[in-house]
Structure 1
Amino acid sequence: MSGFKNRLARLYASSRWSQLAITATTILMTFIVVSALFILIGRDPLKAMYSFFQGSGLGLKPSYTKQGGILSDFFSFLGILAPMLLASLGVVIGLKGGLFNIGVSGQMLFSGFMATILVGYADFSPAVSILLILIVGLVCGGLIGAFIGWLKYRFNIHEVVSSIMINYIVSYATGYFIKTKYVDPIIRSSRAVKPNARLAISNVKLAGQTIEIPIGIVIALLAAFLIKFFFDRMVPGFEIKMVGHNRECAEYAGVRINRVMIRSLMFSGMLAGLAGVTYYLGYYRTMTPKDLASLGFDSIAVALLGNLNALGCIFSSFLITIFQKGAVYMGSATGVVREIASVITGILLLFSSLGDFIKAKAESYSQQMTFERESREEAER
């Protein structure tokens, strides 16, 4: 038993394998707790968990609509995966700089709204529309992020407070304009954007199914690799990490703290802006007044589960999107309310937040075992 504990401690304390081991442990502990929860309410946990995969196009359903199928479900899953990944990357950049951008949902909403009214109702060609939508998303999200960073540096207003307040301002302001100028009188949401302004290739026939190919997934995956390169190989990325680890030390080394704080939240907002346009003009085509996307808050769990690693966020966003996307089908297949997906996300977030604690305990245990072994060897000599 002690040998197993030693190997497990070394695994958790390893600089190479600790992140993977802690993530796997987080997922396993979540699965155990969620399974117990399904058993308590009288449901088969294996069937319930598999239904999440069926609803996300990762498992076959018993039946489909005439033009639907597993491929249409899977590409729809990729459509919501793209903004989830982009939003989580925005959270990662902020946290790397020691700043918590909890206003991702507001930045998504503002960017999506501006892209909708400036490009979504215009008659540009599809190529021009896509380019303009991405630019609007980057600029609008970046402006809000930079403003939050400036408030933090200039007036020492905590970024959590300012970003939450901006969430409310954006929600009510965009809701007012949607209701008074851009509302669809039938569905009471904003008018649908024109087909040429969608970040998706619609009505594609594949294997007898009608699918919609999301452009955003390519943008999101490219962004993940660029963020990885940014932090590993570029000076601005290293400066953000310096400030996040030790602000006083970074300032002593000559780093301009004010610029780095504004830069990190600006980049965070830019990614949130891209998440917004891929969400509102890609996965959806309308906007509901005064409705902040819960995806912006789920992205916090994605970032933590991915250990604040850009490539890790690809896998963590894939996992959490399975629960969010497959919740509707799971509800119809098992009779459990779809809100259980948010409970699962919360449990994942809870266990992932214990990662540093697990690693610290493993390092302490490994050091203790090493000391005891060296003491025994010294005594034998």
Structure 2
Amino acid sequence: MDKKWNNLKNKFLNFQGISTIGGTDIIGTLISSVFWLYLPLVLSSKNYGEIHYVLSIAGIGFIISLVGTRDVISVFTSKSINLNSTLYLLSLVFGTIAILILTFVFQIHSIVILMGYVINDLALGYILGKKFYKKYFVYVLSQKTLTLILGISFYFIFGYEGILYGLTLSFLPFSIIIFREIKNTKIDFNLLISHKEFVTNNYVLSVIGALRSHMDKIIIAPLLGFVILGNYALAMQVFAILMLVSNVVFKYALPHDAQGITNSKIKNLTILFSIVIAILGIFISPILIPLVFPNFIPAVDAIQIISVAVIPATVGQMLVSKFLGNEKSREVLAARIISLSLMILGIFIFGPIFELQGLALAYLLSSSCQAAFLLVYSKKKFNKIN
């Protein structure tokens, strides 16, 4: 009787956890989507591209300075390995250095948004690792709401560059968690050294992942111009919306995989759902984009191609959760290196020939190869896909 009750209780808690993360991310994505999809209505494709260019530079600087990635913090927190304050301190120091260097090199003062990214990632790793789902709800929705309010307000007050300062301020609530953890927990470099392989591998794979997410925009701007970059950025914004459910499940699954709870059924259902989402993206985008964003009609073909990438990207995420949960990050690192290499190569080969459609093809190719690589190694490491 007790065993049945415990199983029922665990199922309820699992449902409550994923439903809270899912509900939060759905509402949060809707709020941020209102913001990011409002901007193309008031900005030219050129200015929209310029904003994403700055965000990409900040994104690379952020991940290079982030010693403790969200996934590492989540895994260590769920396993009660007391390394948060050590990783927080190092990340904040390196983040400050990165801001100074990037400001000097690019003469972009709004690059301070980099620190907002650092604080956000560190705090969310702790919240998810502790399974504080109610706090996740409060903090994430606060940040998304501030993004909408401050981003639009600062645009009308200071112009389109003011948007970036509004985004920076939206991350301030997360600083409460960071400084509380640094104050209340011991900094232990010896413990960090004993886990250096896992931390290092995750750091490198996060840098590779960030390069894949941001390097494309940095290359596209001088190669094809800000107008094409603006259309590509809109296509990637749509892709982020299509990946919402997959991202929710990944955030939920990682700390559970770290504790040996595989959640295979949820992962398999997520992959099936991604197929439905991809089909919807292909058929709905040619109808909605011309109606809502008449200045971004060239993005339609790219959105259709990138919609297909939702499937391999989802498969890849489910496998990444399994690998990282078992502290096996080398395979994930190798997969992301392959993905980054193919992405950059694809931009230079397909971009000048097919322009926007070529960029989307490059993204689809890199996502597919990353998923295929992880799939092969998952069978070798675990004998089955969980």
TM-score (norm 2): 0.33
Q: Which has the higher helix share?
A: 2
Task: Indicate the structure whose relative CO is greater, using CA pairs within 8 Å and at least 6 residues apart.
Answer: 1
- Structure index of larger Rg: 1
TM-score (norm 1): 0.33
